[in-house]
Structure 1
């Protein structure tokens, strides 16, 4: 059995199918893990969810910020933007089934192959992996429970931008979900910084990539965190992390990482680009 992680798909189903062909993915035996943003802006949101859901236990995905936004729009608490391209999903006959399947996806997954942990955006420096697992389960319970509509209605916003264990209510849930799905940079004090989304080489001096932020626990965790979300960062690897969003939506590539075996193996398929970069 082979295990793979794949970067942000963004409803680009032909590119995903081409990548699975390139890695010779066997849906009866292999397993694939997605870094989130299965939908959002790309051309085939319903078909993409239908395809990945159809893989059953051979596939799992964490929630990305575009997936969370999709849930909010479907619930009527989020405003659909012009470039979201969620209408084909929201008009689909099996909309309810697909939306409920998406809502059940986790925010964090531990993968046995190679001791990897999968998230969409990253893990903030204030949390070790035990904290991250505990807080992911806390937010997932809200997303899957009866309070989900209220959560989605209170989810938008950048505050609070600094973690404190005594945060409560929607502020606590908002920070947790923002950290797992929207974070790119942190300040020296651990505050989430959302103003800059370019590569680290062009970032202001007080912006640290989440994986290099002061106090980050990754190098000592014994696991490798796999993340997506950051197309302008691309595929990078360092102590305790790998990033896999290589901008399929923008005409870059869709990337798979083989997780089992003696060393990591990356495979990419070129993407024609369905949109220009924001």
Structure 2
């Protein structure tokens, strides 16, 4: 059995199938992790959602910001943007079932046996694994509960930008969502900055990529993330970032999780950078 993690698909169904063929992926034998953002901007969101849903327990997918946007649009709280392309999901005869399936996806996935944790964007520097799992469970409970439509109506917004243990209610849930699905750069105190979407080095002074903040409480984890296409396929101590920009004309990236060695030193990363990589351009 092989376990593969793949970066943001965003409706790029044909590249996904080509990549799985290249990996000789067998759903009866192998397992698949997906970093979220199954939908939007690409041409085949509907085919992607139906395919992944059809894999059942073979695949685990965490929620991304585009998936949450689809839920908010389906609930009538947001209008589709000019660049949004998930109308095929919304207009499908099985739309209600597909939306309900997306609504029940997790915010975070952790596997003790493999030693990996997957989240769409990242984790707050203030969170260890236990707190991150608690925060994820709080959002999941609301999304899956009877008041999910009200939550989706108040989910969007950029405040509060800094985590405090005292955060409660809508502000707490909104911050958790923003950390797990939108975060890229942070200030020294972990405050979120949403204006910069370029690669590391393009940000103004005082900001760092979230995974470079000193004292990060989750630095001992091995995190699988997506979301940051400008970062691309990126490996750093404790981080495997897999959004390599398929939607922008690049490729999908897969990492075989059961074949990744625990990191031994920073100097080894460049030598191992392509060892477990498989990609297929669109």
TM-score class, shorter = over 0.9
**4+ residue segments displaced more than 3 Å:** none
1:57 maps to 57
Contact 1:234 1:245 in 2 (8 A): yes
* Alignment RMSD (CA, Å): 1.1
SS in 1 for 2:252: strand
User: Partner residue of 2:225?
Assistant: 227
**Length, aligned pairs only:** 269
Secondary structure of 1:136's aligned partner: helix
SS in 2 for 1:126: coil
Match of 2:83 in 1: 83
On the 8 A contact 2:127/2:218 being kept in 1, the answer is no
- Corresponding residue of 2:258: 260
In the TM superposition, what whole-angstrom CA distance separates every residue of 1:46-74 from its partner, at most 9, and x where no partner exists?
11100001111100100000000000000
Q: Tell me how far 1:266 sits from its aligned partner.
A: 1.2
Q: Does 1:149 align with 2:156?
A: no
Residue aligned with 2:69, SS: helix
Asked if the contact 1:190–1:214 (Cα under 8 Å) also holds between the matched residues in 2, the reply is: no
**For structure 1, which runs of at least 5 residues remain unmatched after alignment?**
272-278
CA contact (8 A) 1:255 1:266 kept: yes
Aligned to 2:107: 107
Answer whether contact 1:113 1:260 (CA < 8 A) is retained. no
Taking the TM superposition and a 5 Å limit, the aligned residue runs for 1:264-275 are 265-271=276-282
Contact 1:42–1:249 (CA<8 Å) still a contact in 2?
yes
Q: Are 1:204 and 2:204 matched, yes or no?
A: yes
Output the CA distance in 2 between the equivalents of 1:189 and 1:8: 28
Does residue 169 (structure 1) correspond to residue 169 (structure 2)? The answer is: yes
Distance 2:186 2:201 in 1: 15
* TM-score (ref. length: structure 2): 0.93
Compared CA separation, residues 43 and 262, structure 1 to 2 (3 A): closer
